[in-house]
Structure 1
Amino acid sequence: MRRPTFDLDVLRTFVTGVEFNSFAKAADRLGRSTSAVSAQLKKLEEQIGTPVLTKSGRGLVLTPVGESLLSHARRLLELNDGIFQTLHESQTAGTIRLGLQEDFGEHLLSQILRRFVQAYPMVTLEVRIARNAELLALVESAGLDLALTWDTGQTSPYATRLGETQMHWIGARDTLALTPLADSPLPLIMFDAPCVLRSTATQALDAAQVPWRIALTSPSVAGIWAAVAAGLGLTLRTRIGLPSHLTVISGLPPVPSLGYVLHSSEEDPTPAVKQLAELIKTSLQEQTYGFAVAQ
């Protein structure tokens, strides 16, 4: 059985007439004659099989069926108009400036870019990989539209905490279980200070009275991974972007989770920026769910 289909133009006439409380005004607004509007309303009632309007004094009021139809018609028109708006905006050229902390940049960027380009093929993305302090400064100066950072306690006017992930002690897969001796400080491989992971590592070791030393500092996560793989020491990071040749090391002081925050330079960003923000959120949810399943 073939189901009947509403004519959106007819529904738009119906909704406009009700909102203006005058179908003559609706006809003028929609660029139609009053006779054309009357024909559309007659067609609508014939399709439904019952009146949607009834006379009340000199005017017309909605019947119970008309009230129900009005609610559904508004939703259909909003959906229709939203689809066209999204399709139009996806073809609009522009540039979005995205900032990422390096852990996120290496692992999440490729899948985020692939999904975003499918929705907004005409929009150019400028990506900046940097540390938290630089990214926050760029967001505040409107040098970036979005920035994904670790939650270090610093914030921005339009920041959203998306979630958190566990920090871990990381070493090479062939590293023996390290139980530091009193005269043999644990070698650490870290970013230069200030760094939230560096501070967390040293505070946890101090609290457990485990001696430590900074064996190497690197300005990049790739440099940290290389030094750890070479057996120069351990580092403290999350599983995000963890290379397969490195692993979580047990037997060291427990450490907390680390939150991640998405910062926007505007309270009401463009639809393309909102879509990019949603893709970032979804990718991180998929990532943390994968970690939970693997553990």
Structure 2
Amino acid sequence: MDIDLLKSFIAICETGSFTQAARQVGRTQSAVSLQVRRLEDLLGRPLLLRSSASVALTEHGELFLGYAKDIMASYNGALTAFNRGSVEGVVVLGLSEDYAPRILSEVLRSFIELYPLATVDLVLEDSKLLVKKLAEGAVDLAFITEGEGPVRGGPIAFRDQIVWVAPREGNLHEREPVPIAIRNEDDSYTRFMVSSLQAMKRRYRTAVISRSITGLRAAVAGGLALSAMVRSSVTSDMRELTEAEGFPPLAEFNIRLERAHGRKSAIIDRLEAHLMTRFSEER
């Protein structure tokens, strides 16, 4: 079905006039009339009731108008999606530093390749702070760990697990007491570790305290301590301890992609759709 036929038909329906529709689509009135006849011949049904004073839709025309608009919306969406220069601007994306390796390495890189005029402003904070920034409109989109605060209930982007991690080489996990690296005493990761070690009847000592995931990674990779972090945070210079070694995963949870209320722009729409598409491909 010729897209130009649909454009002319929709223009007639919106303006109520062949003359005005012809001006809108850049054709002569006779050409637009011919297009409508071709469309009616193609469908085998009359779409318009013509008179000297006005143009009205037939019952078939009313039905077809909805389809025509849907087809045009899909057509325009496809053109825009593949026009790399059509989307530009800044989108503010919030995420925990824990998930940065997983999100930044491939997912965001592929988005920038698709939309080279886009700028992604990253805000690295924990989920509780990102929930507040979403409410304030300080970020456009944010990855939020489920249960970390009041949100709108955005779609689940991915699931993750808190796991035990150790240096790539060596048997640090066999030491007594077990050296561990923590963020702080009240951190949920610390509570998971302590509870697990107590269940294993293993003695432990706090060897490193670091407020950042970067510090925890360095402590583990450097052979100073074991720690617990989400699987997305595990890098190539450390390894995940397994249940066979006595260290099962500590917790599993959902990470949702939340959007600030009322934030509307093409660049936000595209990043949101891209992120959800890429993570759905991983499942």
TM over 0.5: yes
| Distance in 2 of aligned mates of 1:283 and 1:41 | 41
RMSD across aligned positions (CA)? 3.5
How many Å apart are 1:145 and its aligned residue? 1.2
Contact 1:97 1:145 in 2 (8 A): yes
2:166 is matched with: 171
What residue in structure 1 maps to residue 74 of structure 2? 79
Number of the residue aligned with 1:150: 145
What is the match of residue 46 of structure 2? Answer: 53
| C-alpha distance after superposition, 1:119-147 (max 9, x if no partner) | 32222221122333333332222221122
Matches within 5 A, 1:106-145: 106-145=101-140
State yes or no: 1:218 paired with 2:213. Answer: no
2-structure distance, mates of 1:255, 1:95: 37
Distance 1:10 1:141, change over 3 A: same
8 A Cα contact 1:139 1:147, kept in partner: yes
What whole-Å deviation, never above 9, does each CA across 1:239-274 have from its counterpart, x for those lacking one? 214222321223135522132232322255323213
Q: Percentage identity across aligned positions? A: 23
Consecutive unaligned residues of structure 1, counting only runs of 5 or more, are 1-5, 290-295
Are 2:92 and 1:97 equivalent residues in the alignment?
yes
Is it true that 1:201 corresponds to 2:197 in the alignment?
Answer: no
**Secondary structure, counterpart of 1:128 in structure 2:** strand
**Aligned pairs (5 A) from 1:17-56:** 17=12, 19=13, 25-31=17-23, 35-45=30-40, 48=42, 51-53=44-46
State the distance in 2 between where 1:186 and 1:152 align: 30
How many residues are aligned here? 273
Cα offsets for 1:16-36 (capped at 9, x unmatched):
54x46xx95354345366544
Shift of 1:82: 2.6
Gapped regions of structure 2 (runs ≥ 5) = none
TM superposition shift of 1:234: 0.9
Call closer, same or farther: CA 1:30–1:194 in 2, change over 3 Å.
Answer: farther
Q: Quote the residue 1:10 is aligned against.
A: 5
Partner SS for 1:42: helix
Deviation at 1:193, TM superposition (A): 5.0
| TM-score, length of structure 1 as denominator length | 0.74
Q: Could you tell me how far apart the structure 1 residues matched to 2:81 and 2:148 are?
A: 36
Task: Provide closer, same or farther for how the CA distance between residues 61 and 168 of structure 1 changes in structure 2, counting only shifts above 3 A.
Answer: same
Within 2, Cα distance between the matches of 1:131 and 1:150? 9
Shift of 1:80: 2.4
**Does the CA contact (< 8 Å) of 2:135 and 2:261 recur in 1?**
no
Matched, 1:227 2:219: yes
| TM-score normalised per structure 2 | 0.77
8 Å CA contact retained: 1:102, 1:129: yes
Superposed CA deviations along residues 47-92 of structure 1, whole A, max 9, x for unmatched, are x3x74318989877356xx788656533332222334555679535
**CA distance change for structure 1 residues 51 and 135 in 2, over 3 Å: closer, same or farther?**
closer
